[in-house]
Structure 1
Amino acid sequence: MHFMLVLYAGDYHNAWHRIHSGKQPTWHGHPFMVERFGKLSQHHKVTILTCKSQKPYEDTLPDGCRVIEVGLAEPFKQHRELVARVASEDVTHLMIRAPIPGLIRWATRQQNLRTIAALAQSYSNKTLKGRLKNWRYARLFNHPKVEWVFNHNINSSYSLQSIGVNPAKIVPWDWPQTWLDRKPKVFPEQSGSEPWTIFFVGSVIPNKGVGDGIDAVARLRHAGINIQFKIAGKGDIAGFQQQAETLGISDAVIFLGMIGNNEVIDYMTAADLVLISSRHNYPEGFPYTINQALLSRTPIIASDHPMFKGILQHRESAMIFPAGDGGAIAHCIQEVIASPSLYESLSRNSQSAWEFLQVPVRWGDVIDRWLGDTPGDRQWLAAHSLQSGRYADRVARLNN
């Protein structure tokens, strides 16, 4: 058996060496991938192929996994080069994490190739262009040669069904995680010189709502509220520094750069509020920052992104604002910091919110059950598909 995982971007080679040298991973999924593929490579040929990278690269890791970086700048447009590279390998089992239509189409035409999609993104039918694109995706995912379509958590899986993908093929999954059993937070009594701290982690780009958060901080500062905004991640940092300077709040916005994944919850715990501000045009699957924020028990200020619906409830597990509205973010923050009872109830309710969003299928199950392919494995996956009815309570809340 030759198993190949196709990733859109990222540096698996670097991630492997960081983990095995004792350094913190920069993404929460890397330790689970490294552990699972290391075990798999003891008995089978395993290749991790990354589409987008600065230059072509190939190496074999000490655990036997082969790493290939194709060196494409625009994989969706350069799908022929990608397909040629994948076709040059004697692959028997293909897991596609990068939903590139040209690659999926090629895979459906290969007689001796087993294929699944394992996604972490959502699909929206809001525009005519989007509906046409999603119709094409539904046709590809519904092809008999694509055995299963896994997607990250319930909402993103349900978005696949909404564009026409057969719910019997859709299986929600998530990364392994454990409740940390931290105590609910007590309302912080701020002194006059001590600022309220807001924390954001993720891609530092407009569609993640970073600029909206900076706008909210400016509004609060101009209203006389002592507030500080800490931003962790990489992206257009210079552009947002310029925004903060233009608004006269450069001293209130701190860019931390990349931080280790194991540091995220500690930063969240140290903050007074966590901001999750994705705009609707950002294709969220299910942001792991929601899990991390709930685990930290720090109250959440979140946008009304469709992928958060039914997971976070306004004034119960988070304060919800219309995405892209800095004024609404500021209003939510003001409301929470002015009400000790609201602040503490949001923190207290984080455990029940975290428990509600858990799904039974984990990353290891996706690989083990698919590769096992016994009648019992296929039955188990079917019993965890959207069609099974197992997620009816989540879907009901999503539709409310």
Structure 2
Amino acid sequence: MHFMLVLYAGDYRNAWYRIQAGKPSTWHGHSFMVERFTEMSKHHQVTVFTCKSEIAHEETLPDGCRVIEAGLADPVKQHRELVAKVAAQKPTHLMVRAPMMSILRWASHQKDLRTIAALANSYHQNTWRERLKNWRTAQLFNHPQIEWVFNHNINSSYSLQKIGVNPAKIIPWDWPQTWSNRESKPFPPCSETQPWTMFYVGSVIPEKGVGDGINAVAKLRQAGINLQFKIAGKGNLDLFKQQAASLGISDAVTFLGLIPNFEVIDAMAAADLVLISSRHNYPEGFPFTINQALLSRTPIIASDHPMFEGILQHRESAMIFPAGDGEAIARCAQALITSPSLYTSLSQNSQAAWEFLQVPVRWGDVIERWLADSPGDRQWLADHSLQSGRYQARIARLSPL
């Protein structure tokens, strides 16, 4: 057996060496991937293939896992070269961990190659171009050579069904996690010398609503409320520094840069509010920041992104605002700042909200069950498909097909 995982981007090699050196991983999923592939490499040939990278590089890690970086700047445009590189490895089992359609099209014609897609993507039907693209995507995912389509959590999986993918092939998955048993948070003792703080973590780009958060800080200052906004992540920092300066609130916005994944929940817990502000045009799957924010017990202000639908309930587990609306973010923050009962109830409700959004299929289950391929394993996968009826309570909260 030659199992090959195809990633769009990332640096698995660096993650492996960091973990072996006892350093914290920079992304939540790295430790689970390293653990799984190290174990698999004892019995099978394992290759982790990254499509987009600055240089072309191949290396066999000390645990036996082969790492290949394709060295492609634009894997979508360089699809012929990409497919040739994948085909040259001659895998027997292929797991495509991104919607790399050129690879999946190639795989659909390889009769001796078993293939699954494991995604974290959402699909929208707002324009005729999107509808045409989605129709082609559904046709490919429904191809019999693509055995299963795993997507991150319920909402993104349901979006696949909405574009026409057979729900019997769709299985929602998530990373392993446990409830952290933090105490719920009391109303913060804020003052002029100890202002409120709002925390954001993620890509620092317009589509993630970072600028909307900065606009909210400016609106709150006009209302006499001092809110400090802490932004963690990388992206176009200069753009947002200029925005803060033009609004006269540079002193209220702090750019932290990248922070280790293990620090995120503590940073959220140290803040008074957590902002999750993705705009509708950002293709969210299921952002792990929602899990992290609930685990931190800090009240959440979240956009009404379609992939957040049914996960968080307004004024029960979060404050929900129309995506892209900085004034609405400010109103949500002001409601929490002026209502101790609302603030404490959102923190207290976070555990029930976290438990409701959990799904039973974890990262390791996806690979283990599919590769084992016994009748019992195939039945287990079918029993966890979107068609199984297992997720009806969650799906009932979503917009109908």
- Normalising by structure 1, we get a TM-score of 0.99
Could you report, residue by residue, the CA deviation over 1:327-372 in whole angstroms, capped at 9, with x for unpaired residues? 1001100011100000000000000000000000000000000000
Q: What letter matches 1:43 in structure 2?
A: H
Q: What letter matches 1:134 in structure 2?
A: N
Structure 2 match to 1:144: 144
Q: Is the 8 A contact 2:8 2:52 kept in 1?
A: yes
Asked whether 1:214 is paired with 2:214, we answer yes
Structure 2 Cα separation of the partners of residues 78 and 90 of structure 1: 20
Aligned ranges 1:152-171 → 2 under 5 Å: 152-171=152-171
Q: What letter matches 1:142 in structure 2?
A: N
Q: Is the 8 A contact 2:98 2:120 kept in 1?
A: no
Structure 1 match to 2:48: 48
Structure 2 match to 1:131: 131
Asked whether 1:386 is paired with 2:386, we answer yes
Could you report, residue by residue, the CA deviation over 1:189-218 in whole angstroms, capped at 9, with x for unpaired residues? 212211110000011111111111111111
Moved more, 49-58 or 163-172: 49-58
Structure 1 Cα separation of the partners of residues 373 and 312 of structure 2: 36
Structure 2 match to 1:350: 350
Structure 1 match to 2:279: 279
Structure 1 match to 2:324: 324
Deviation at 1:222, TM superposition (A): 2.2
Deviation at 1:395, TM superposition (A): 0.4
Structure 1 match to 2:239: 239
Structure 2 Cα separation of the partners of residues 25 and 344 of structure 1: 32
Deviation at 1:399, TM superposition (A): 3.0
Structure 2 match to 1:88: 88
Structure 1 match to 2:266: 266
Asked whether 1:203 is paired with 2:228, we answer no
Q: Is the 8 A contact 2:99 2:119 kept in 1?
A: yes
Structure 2 match to 1:252: 252
Could you report, residue by residue, the CA deviation over 1:39-86 in whole angstroms, capped at 9, with x for unpaired residues? 111111111011111121111111111111111111111111110000
Structure 2 match to 1:187: 187
Please give the secondary structure, in 2, of the residue aligned with 1:112: coil
Structure 2 match to 1:298: 298
Deviation at 1:19, TM superposition (A): 1.3
Deviation at 1:221, TM superposition (A): 1.6
Structure 1 match to 2:16: 16
Please give the secondary structure, in 2, of the residue aligned with 1:398: coil
CA RMSD, 1 decimal: 0.8
Deviation at 1:238, TM superposition (A): 1.3
Structure 2 Cα separation of the partners of residues 194 and 265 of structure 1: 21
Structure 2 match to 1:375: 375
Could you report, residue by residue, the CA deviation over 1:83-102 in whole angstroms, capped at 9, with x for unpaired residues? 00001112000000121211
Q: What letter matches 2:188 in structure 1?
A: P
Q: Runs in 1 of length 4+ with deviation above 2 angstroms?
A: none
Could you report, residue by residue, the CA deviation over 1:97-133 in whole angstroms, capped at 9, with x for unpaired residues? 1212111100000111000000001000111110000
Structure 1 Cα separation of the partners of residues 373 and 394 of structure 2: 28
Please give the secondary structure, in 2, of the residue aligned with 1:111: coil
Structure 1 regions of 5+ residues with no counterpart?
Answer: none
Structure 2 regions of 5+ residues with no counterpart?
Answer: none
Please give the secondary structure, in 1, of the residue aligned with 2:332: helix
Structure 2 match to 1:340: 340
Please give the secondary structure, in 2, of the residue aligned with 1:397: coil
Q: Is the 8 A contact 1:138 1:163 kept in 2?
A: yes
Structure 2 match to 1:65: 65
Q: Is the 8 A contact 1:274 1:298 kept in 2?
A: yes
Structure 2 Cα separation of the partners of residues 73 and 352 of structure 1: 43
Deviation at 1:34, TM superposition (A): 0.7
Structure 1 Cα separation of the partners of residues 93 and 51 of structure 2: 17
Structure 2 Cα separation of the partners of residues 64 and 233 of structure 1: 33
Q: What letter matches 1:130 in structure 2?
A: E
Q: Is the 8 A contact 2:301 2:318 kept in 1?
A: yes
Structure 2 match to 1:177: 177
Structure 1 Cα separation of the partners of residues 208 and 58 of structure 2: 33
Q: Is the 8 A contact 1:194 1:226 kept in 2?
A: no
Asked whether 1:7 is paired with 2:7, we answer yes
Aligned ranges 1:107-126 → 2 under 5 Å: 107-126=107-126
Structure 1 match to 2:230: 230
Please give the secondary structure, in 2, of the residue aligned with 1:149: strand
Could you report, residue by residue, the CA deviation over 1:202-251 in whole angstroms, capped at 9, with x for unpaired residues? 11111111111111111112221111111111111111111111111111
Asked whether 1:288 is paired with 2:291, we answer no
